[in-house]
Structure 1
Amino acid sequence: MASSGLINYRKWSLADCPSLTSKIAIVTGGNAGIGREIVAQLLKKDIEKVYVLARSKEHFSEAEMFWRNEHKIENVESRVEFLECTLSDMVTTKRVADGLVGRLERLDILINNAGLPTIPDYTLSPQGIETIWATNVIGTFVLTNILLPTLESTAEKYGDSRIVVTSSSFHMGCQELKLDLLKSPTRVKSPDAIDSCWRYARSKLGNLLFTKELAKRLEKRGSSKVYANCFFPGNIPTGAMDTWKELFGPLGYLMKANFWVLGQSTTDGAATALYLAAAPEVVERNQKGSYFCPVAAEDDTSALAKDKDLAKNVWYWCDGQVTDALGRGWDEQKGDGEGNGEGEEKAPSEEEKGGEIEILQSVEVIGAIPAS
């Protein structure tokens, strides 16, 4: 029940969040929904600067009014900067990330919150990868790896830094991951509603596997002061759930309405993100590569999300796809370090891996677990 978000385990409160004076944060998707509330709470804790990476400048302008009018936050224009970024496109994401590297002397918090929901249409990214996975997983992979040296140097100089990745209880609805299907030109499942839900669940599983592998690699390269964790914000009736109406008709309306009563608020969703981004308890408890549900409660995942070999293969696959699109050395920081530290594992060559990596699981289940 905890993992589904139907019960809140309030382990922490926003009132417990320390001051974030002088800290710098990046929040993807910080212009709407849960991301907008995350930015609001960072600002209320006196953070110096937040960079919001998102697609819609119009939604960002609406968010600015929300921060000023609803939260009474001052100096929004100077403290929050919008950077247009389409995470489904590796080229765009790299360009934005490289630009940030050239500007930032420190980066304390990276919150990978942006993501596509259960979109009805089946499309591929500019690099030929299924769009939900390309946005939710590949975009996060590219951005995080390019910014990693800045996060590491910040941790060494100021004590620690945090990487937070938004996942969902919906990851439990994916009990099969075949990497070759991520580039399928057509839908894998039918009807369309089931396919859309499964693709979303698959991407949320990908977020978890990425975070766990990232935490392992950070330890291996000696970056013990960078804390990477994953969280489920809760069943929050945001605009992301509007696609349910198109997928399920009247039932979709009822599903969203249900979460106005049984779900969480955007403040609850933001609270877990703030815990992972700022709470000293994360350092004290050495919480790394873990999964959290509302509010700030460490929770269990599906068996597939615990598969270490699968996590490594997903990393290899993502790195291979990005390398094919952007070239080797795509994650190097120009002028002040490289994106892969000593001892860092890269995707094996075709000879090393013996052909295409393929993960097969015999069970295939689509769960009706609410998504974030």
Structure 2
Amino acid sequence: MESKTILITGSTDGIGKVTAKALAKQGHTVIIHGRNLNKAKTVCAEIKSETGNEKIDFVVADLFLLADVQRMAGDFKKKYERLDVLINNAGAMFGKDRETTKEGLEKTMALNLFSPFLLTQLLLEILAKSPAARIINVSSSAHAMSGVPNLNDIQLTKNYSLGSAYGQSKLYLIWVTQYLAEELKKTGFNNITANSLHPGTIKTEFGQNADKGFIINLLFKLSMLFAVTPEQGAENTIYLATSKDVENITGRYFANKKVAKPNPKYYSAENEKIIWDYCMQIVQPYLNR
């Protein structure tokens, strides 16, 4: 297998870390991302030791802050001339009360949608240098349980609930991935594919620390009884990152290493463009490459 340069956000623990280790074992150059410098260094050393692959590096950034995403992308481009695979894995579910970042953005949308959107835009120029680049956005089947999206209030300033915030952020991530795939075709970037995926319900610490309210907390704990291991959950991401079967497939949503159909209930080309344009408006101040 040809060695690839792969960047994985949110990869110092959970499914992201498992993905990084598996790709490192295959001999790829893997750049992990974390929020904490010491943890990123530790995980980097751990992956090198366990896999025997010295081509492991790390970047540090707070993906809640678009300014930090911009800084991280700049640092990455100074160090690496090309990128073959971008895996936007970082994501989270938050508590029952609406919270905003230091930049004034709703936290769920900031991390799960705006951050990967911006990072992808900023790294397109070095993805374009790869003969066959892949953008992989980790979504969730929870997109089907998002409730009715209010496209006039995308950041849920009026009717916030954690379920709506998380589900809609993952729904919109699927939509912008589809839109990006078409934009890449139109602009002649036929060497870059963009796909999204559902990794499964994973047995990790994901979402278990936030206070979601008694009923949601209980349901979340019960769902863990049917969850798969991080190793099983990472299989879909690893497949999309490396398999020759998906070389020319773009704009699709995957589950269990197969093309699946995202929930069409609220989809329209018009709604998809509204979300794309809104994301572009949010990230515009940070797009000076």
Q: Same fold (TM over 0.5)?
A: yes
Instruction: Supply the AA of the counterpart residue of 2:180.
Output: L
Residue by residue over 1:261-284, the C-alpha shift from the partner in whole angstroms, topping out at 9 and shown as x without a partner, is x2222112111101111110002x
Asked if 1:32 corresponds to 2:8, the answer is: no
- Residue number among 298, 305, 315 corresponding to 2:259 in the alignment: 298
Larger radius of gyration: 1
- Corresponding residue of 1:288: 250
Task: Quote the Cα distance in structure 1 between the aligned partners of 2:152 and 2:267.
Answer: 21
RMSD over aligned CA atoms reads 2.3
- Corresponding residue of 1:99: 75
Contact 1:32 1:59 in 2 (8 A): no
- Corresponding residue of 2:217: 252
Shift of 1:79: 2.4
Aligned CA distance change for structure 1 residues 301 and 36 (closer, same or farther; 3 Å): same
Aligned CA distance change for structure 1 residues 26 and 312 (closer, same or farther; 3 Å): same
Instruction: Supply the AA of the counterpart residue of 1:73.
Output: T
- Corresponding residue of 1:267: 231
Task: Quote the Cα distance in structure 2 between the aligned partners of 1:242 and 1:225.
Answer: 39
Shift of 1:58: 4.5
Task: Quote the Cα distance in structure 2 between the aligned partners of 1:93 and 1:34.
Answer: 21
Task: Quote the Cα distance in structure 1 between the aligned partners of 2:94 and 2:261.
Answer: 23
- Corresponding residue of 1:338: none
Mean CA deviation greater in 163-172 or 122-131: 122-131
- Corresponding residue of 1:53: 33
- Corresponding residue of 1:74: 52
- Corresponding residue of 2:208: 242
- Residue number among 115, 130, 133 corresponding to 1:161 in the alignment: 133
Task: Quote the Cα distance in structure 2 between the aligned partners of 1:331 and 1:219.
Answer: 23
Task: Quote the Cα distance in structure 1 between the aligned partners of 2:215 and 2:74.
Answer: 45
Q: Secondary structure at the match of 1:264?
A: coil
Q: Secondary structure at the match of 1:25?
A: strand
- Residue number among 150, 155, 177 corresponding to 2:149 in the alignment: 177
Aligned CA distance change for structure 1 residues 277 and 142 (closer, same or farther; 3 Å): same
Task: Quote the Cα distance in structure 2 between the aligned partners of 1:198 and 1:218.
Answer: 30
Task: Quote the Cα distance in structure 1 between the aligned partners of 2:37 and 2:204.
Answer: 18
How many residues matched? Answer: 289
Contact 1:20 1:42 in 2 (8 A): no
Task: Quote the Cα distance in structure 2 between the aligned partners of 1:255 and 1:321.
Answer: 31
**Overall identity of the aligned pairs, in %:** 26
- Corresponding residue of 1:343: none
Gaps of 5+ in 1: 1-18, 190-194, 333-372
Aligned CA distance change for structure 1 residues 66 and 255 (closer, same or farther; 3 Å): farther
Task: Quote the Cα distance in structure 2 between the aligned partners of 1:316 and 1:128.
Answer: 19
Instruction: Supply the AA of the counterpart residue of 1:313.
Output: I
- Residue number among 144, 156, 159 corresponding to 1:188 in the alignment: 159
What TM-score do you get using the length of structure 1 for normalisation?
0.72
Task: Quote the Cα distance in structure 1 between the aligned partners of 2:90 and 2:244.
Answer: 25
Q: Secondary structure at the match of 2:59?
A: strand
Residue by residue over 1:116-138, the C-alpha shift from the partner in whole angstroms, topping out at 9 and shown as x without a partner, is 22334421123322111011111
Shift of 1:65: 6.5
Contact 1:118 1:197 in 2 (8 A): no
Contact 2:32 2:44 in 1 (8 A): no
- Corresponding residue of 2:273: 312
Instruction: Supply the AA of the counterpart residue of 1:50.
Output: V
Task: Quote the Cα distance in structure 2 between the aligned partners of 1:29 and 1:200.
Answer: 17
Aligned CA distance change for structure 1 residues 104 and 66 (closer, same or farther; 3 Å): closer
Task: Quote the Cα distance in structure 2 between the aligned partners of 1:137 and 1:206.
Answer: 7
What TM-score do you get using the length of structure 2 for normalisation?
0.91
- Residue number among 17, 22, 37 corresponding to 1:41 in the alignment: 22
Residue by residue over 1:240-298, the C-alpha shift from the partner in whole angstroms, topping out at 9 and shown as x without a partner, is 13146x324487356435434x2222112111101111110002xx321111112x021
Shift of 1:305: 6.2
- Corresponding residue of 1:108: 84
Aligned CA distance change for structure 1 residues 253 and 74 (closer, same or farther; 3 Å): farther
Aligned CA distance change for structure 1 residues 31 and 199 (closer, same or farther; 3 Å): same
Residue by residue over 1:303-343, the C-alpha shift from the partner in whole angstroms, topping out at 9 and shown as x without a partner, is 146422212111111111222x33xxx253xxxxxxxxxxx
Gaps of 5+ in 2: none
